[in-house]
Structure 1
Amino acid sequence: MSASFQYKPRFKDMRIKPPRPEEEEAAADVLRLKPGEKQCQHPDCLKVATARAPRSREQLNESYEFCQAHAAQYNKSWNFYAGMSEGEIRSRYENEQMTGGRPTWEMKAGRMSREAAAFAAKFGTGNKTGAGRWSDPFAMFGQDHQGRAAEGPETAPIGRLERQALADLDLDPGVAREAIRARYYELLKRCHPDHNGGDRSAEDKLQRVIRAWKTLTKAKMA
């Protein structure tokens, strides 16, 4: 082949130069939150939240703020009937067949309505002695103070991520913030290889404990 047809590379130096400081700052600015933006609530994610997902079956009106990728991951593993027995699932299905899944209300006057005010003016709010006394043994007009006190305080509902994080820490919902912190440090010491003579058999548990701590910290529960 003649010299005129020999291949001559156009670029002789293909080394990649490191980015300039202003280029690094511009790249970091991509992950920086702008005014009005929220950070993704998934652990270890610094992206902007652009999608929502329901927290749990009991909190359908409250949502997590996720980026698009973590919202898709969360929705892929979503199971509305998780944790329900067959009887509860059947009852839920029958209720949806009757009401179409729409909320229903009891056919009675509200506590602040005119009917409730007229009833209280005529019979009192809890008279059990003297003139105008009355009793409600079957709690048809609402439970009395003793009935409410016997039930005890209800545990506030939490989202699915927080519930799973508490399970990874071997804790139940409703536990105090101090107990969460104490259990985290206990499991951190128990599962870390440096405290087990280099044994790495608990590394998977350690990763789940750290991820659970970050989830609870983001939810301001720890």
Structure 2
Amino acid sequence: MRMCDRAGCDQPGNCPAPKSPNSPERWYFCERHAAEYNSNWNYFEGLDKEEASAREQAERAEGASYRQSSWNAWAGPGDGSRSRDELRALEVLELDPDADFDAVRKAWRSKAKLVHPDVRPGDEAAAKEFQKLQVAYEVLRAAEERRTWKGPEGTF
């Protein structure tokens, strides 16, 4: 097992990092030191504003198909295609990360019926819980609409 190249670190070094921009030589850091090393990395160093903008646009175009695939439901909901907000909303509804929207709707309705302000008037805790449930449902509903929305003529 290779150890981290950072002096004094005794963790496994399984994260390669270039020693210089165009060098095949690599440092091997642990995750913590790789993150520290990369935090100081400026990918656009030495480029003027127009060159940096052109490179950023080219790389966004290359990665656009990956981003589109997650919204186009080529990837399932439990495989990393959910946002952090969606995962928090699923936690509020006490659902698994791979729950489909029908399960979301059922969980929201059953929980909202218990704490709805019409059912428990004057109960501040129930009102706050209802608001949390409502926000969670809205986040998940908007995400579902983004995933299933088809643009003009069924295209994105």
TM-score of the aligned structures, taking structure 2 as reference length: 0.44
Tell which structure's C-alpha radius of gyration is larger. Answer: 1
**Structure ranking higher in helix proportion:** 2
TM-score of the aligned structures, taking structure 1 as reference length: 0.32
